[in-house]
Amino acid sequence: MSGSVQASSTTAKATVNDTKDNGETPKEQQKPATQLEEDDEFEDFPVEGAPQQEETELPSGSTHLWEESWDDDDTNDEFSQQLREEIKRSAKSS
């Protein structure tokens, strides 16, 4: 059955060449970072079946990435001064 051997080996090879496992193509991996902005497509990252990488999940560790206290108490900048004056002026005239 040389035909069957030929079939399975050649087709398997073709498939491997074709998809590089999990649909990730070499082109995408080598894509220069500057093109990131133009390509909105989200590709599966290729770790299916590979040993799982250590989780980056750090519930407390990710907190410092976000700032929940951002209120601005500065009332001496130009914007605040202008507002203050305008409110005063308006209060006087009414």
Partner 1 sequence: MASTPTLEQFLRELGNIIRAGDGEQMRNYMIIEPPYNDLYQKMINEVRQNYPKEQEGALDDFCRDNLPEARDGIDGVSWTAFIYFIAQYFTFIRDVNVDNLLDTYNLFSEVMQKISSALGHSTLGIILLPTVIEYSKVFAKLAIGLDKQPELIANAVATTSDEGGEGETLPERAGNIIRSAFTTCLNDRNSSGIAPDNTPDSRNKKSGIYKLANLCLKIFFQCRKIRNCEQIFTNIYNQSPPLSIYPKAQQVTYLYYLGRFQFANSHFWRAQLALQHALDLTPANFISQRRLILIYLLTSNLLLGRFPSAALYSLPEARGLRQHFGPLCRAIARGDIPAFQQLTSLETGPSAGWLYSHKVLLEIRYRGFVLVQRSLTRLVFLVAGDPGDPEARKAPTLDISAVHTALRYLEHRPPQAAVYVDPDFEGMDPAELNYLDEDGEPNPLLLPTFAESEALIASMIDQNLINGFISHRQGRLAIQGAKRKAAVAAGWPKVWEVIVAKFAGEEVPGWKKDGAGGTGMGGGMVVNLSGVRGVS
Q: Which two tokens stand for residue 58?
A: 């750090």
Kindly state the smallest distance separating residue 36's Cβ from partner 1, in Å. Answer: 6
Asked if residue 87 binds partner 1 (CB under 8 A), the reply is yes
How many chain residues are in contact with partner 1, going by CB under 8 A?
59
Which residue's CB is nearer to partner 1, number 26 or number 94?
A: 94
Cβ neighbours around 32 below 10 Å, total:
6
Alpha carbons 57 and 70: distance in angstroms, whole number = 25
Asked if residue 94 binds partner 1 (CB under 8 A), the reply is yes
Which residue's CB is nearer to partner 1, number 4 or number 26?
A: 4
User: Which residues from 33-72 bind partner 1, rule CB under 8 A?
Assistant: 33, 36-37, 39-49, 52-53, 55-58, 62, 64-72
Alpha carbons 94 and 85: distance in angstroms, whole number = 14
Are the beta carbons of 11 and 19 closer than 8 angstroms? no
